Amino acid sequence: MKRIGEMKKKSMFDDSVFTEMLGRINALTPESDALWGSMSASQMLAHCAGVQEVGNGKDLVGTPFIAKLMKGFIRKMVVNDKPYAHNVRTHPQYLVRDARDFEEQKKRLIDAVEGLKAGGPVSMEHSLFGEMTGEERGWVSYKHLDHHLAQFGV
């Protein structure tokens, strides 16, 4: 039985979920307004692309010592089945404050999620969280994208 506050675990490795998420990304426009938070649509795309690239194996350089100390706690929040709260604090290495080109960042994000899917649900070393199973990787990719696409009403 599903408890209050839990999400149904979906995976970016599932073809129907993957197609749905690409459709939601493609529904964004440069004029899409956030329902919460302060990022523009192009900044959100850049943020999500950066997170996904690290999830695909790119090294996360310069992680603050405090984040390394708290990685177990952060990992639990990321991997659990509770949705992210609105306006939850963003990891400092993923903050995007400058203006970004919408189409460039959209392509970057699509390339990143396509790279995840093409690599398949294999275990991989995450540069902050350590070893992540394919199931965890598919879930956290979905959970993060769902949060930010919902932020922009798509």
Q: Domain boundaries in the chain?
A: 15-28+36-151
What is the average pLDDT value for the chain, to the nearest integer?
92
Reported as a single tens digit per residue, the pLDDT across 76-132 is 989 999 999 998 878 777 889 999 999 999 999 999 999 999 999 999 989 888 899
Backbone angles phi and psi of 130, in degrees to 5: 85, -155
Q: Tens of pLDDT along 22-80?
A: 999 999 999 999 999 999 999 999 999 999 999 999 988 888 888 888 888 889 989 99
pLDDT, position 110 = 98
pLDDT digits (tens, 9 = 90+) for 64-75: 888 888 888 889
